[in-house]
Amino acid sequence: MDLRETLAANLMHVRALIANAVERAGRDLNEITLVAVSKTKPVEMVKLAYELGVRDFGENRVQEALTKVAQFRPSDVHWHMIGHIQTNKANRVAATFDYVQSVDSLHLAQMLARHAGEHGVRLPVLLEVNVAGEESKTGMSLAELSGLARQVVALPQLDVQGLMTVAPLVSDPEEVRPVFRALRLERDRLQKELPGTSWHHLSMGMTGDYSIAIEEGATIVRIGRAIFGERIYGGKHV
Ligand SMILES: *Cc1c(COP(=O)(O)O)cnc(C)c1O
């Protein structure tokens, strides 16, 4: 199969599993945004996915993303930043991305807000939560989320739309169901605590666990390998 056929088959499979999960959960397919995670993959693959109907793309490294966005930015495409952002890159991120899903500190939120203001945009963002409290991961802890959320929603240049999490790597995806459920409960709590913000979005679910994430309320799934294939970088899987 050539690349286009492989991508088409992969996308058809992913969309079918999304539809199945939506059905099981008694939800509506329109509630789910598929973000195709194109990190490490060439812009040619992004263009092919676009031709196959994908409109949302996710990247986790600023420099790599800037190159791709510069080469491919139709007006109906949304680029999502999903990786950790060093604050010295906040300016470029605010100027380039349509959504920033990985707001993991108040300082980063303040820097993004300042630069969004300079660019005259109100930047849609999600707060990244480290639900399982893993040392190796960035994201706000459950303990600090309320306090930080209150301060971030007070920044008028940011349009806070919900929460994002990266679940722990496990062999059986059922093991991460409690993580997704916990994120949804946090979202529900924030909706009551800070009702001036919609908190609509729950970005959770990747190649290994997106069906379960949808059953638990995901509105955004971020899928890389199941669409674009395994990532191989200098001989290593990343
Ligand atoms: C790489 C990445 C994904 C996609 O992971 P896959 O397992 O390839 O689907 C999703 N979210 C984040 C934050 C990532 O870095």
Give residue 44 CA to ligand 1 midpoint distance, Å. 19
Distance CA 79, CA 140 (A): 23
Residue 1: which pLDDT band, with cuts at 50, 70 and 90? confident
**Confidence (pTM):** 0.96
Q: Which atom of ligand 1 is nearest to the CA of 82?
A: 13
Which ligand 1 atom sits closest to the C-alpha of 225? 8
Instruction: Identify the residues whose C-beta falls under 6 Å from ligand 1.
Output: 37, 39, 60, 82-83, 166, 206-208, 222-226
Nearest CA owner, ligand 1 atom 7: 207
Q: Which atom of ligand 1 is nearest to the CA of 101?
A: 13
Q: Which of 60, 85, 102 to mutate to test the pocket of ligand 1 (most atoms within 8 A of CB)?
A: 60
Dig out the tokens for 46 from the structure. Answer: 């992004």
3-state secondary structure the chain: CCHHHHHHHHHHHHHHHHHHHHHHCCCCHHHCEEEEECCCCCHHHHHHHHHCCCCEEEECCHHHHHHHHHHCCCCCCEEEECCCCCHHHHHHHHHHCCEEEEECCHHHHHHHHHHHHHHCCCEEEEEEECCCCCCCCCCECHHHHHHHHHHHHCCCCEEEEEEECCCCCCCCHHHHHHHHHHHHHHHHHHHHHCCCCCCCEEECCCCCCHHHHHHCCCCEEEECHHHHCCCEECCEEC
226 CA from centroid of ligand 1 (Å): 10
- Which atom of ligand 1 approaches the CA of 60 most closely? 15
pLDDT tens-digit readout, 67-114: 999 999 999 999 999 999 999 999 999 999 999 999 999 999 999 999
Q: What is the pLDDT of residues 115-163, one digit of tens each?
A: 999 999 999 999 999 999 999 999 999 999 999 999 999 999 999 999 9
pLDDT at 236: 61
Q: State the pLDDT confidence band at 233, using cuts at 50, 70 and 90.
A: confident
224 Cα to the center of ligand 1, angstroms: 6
Mean pLDDT score, 61-68: 96
- State residue 5's pLDDT score: 97
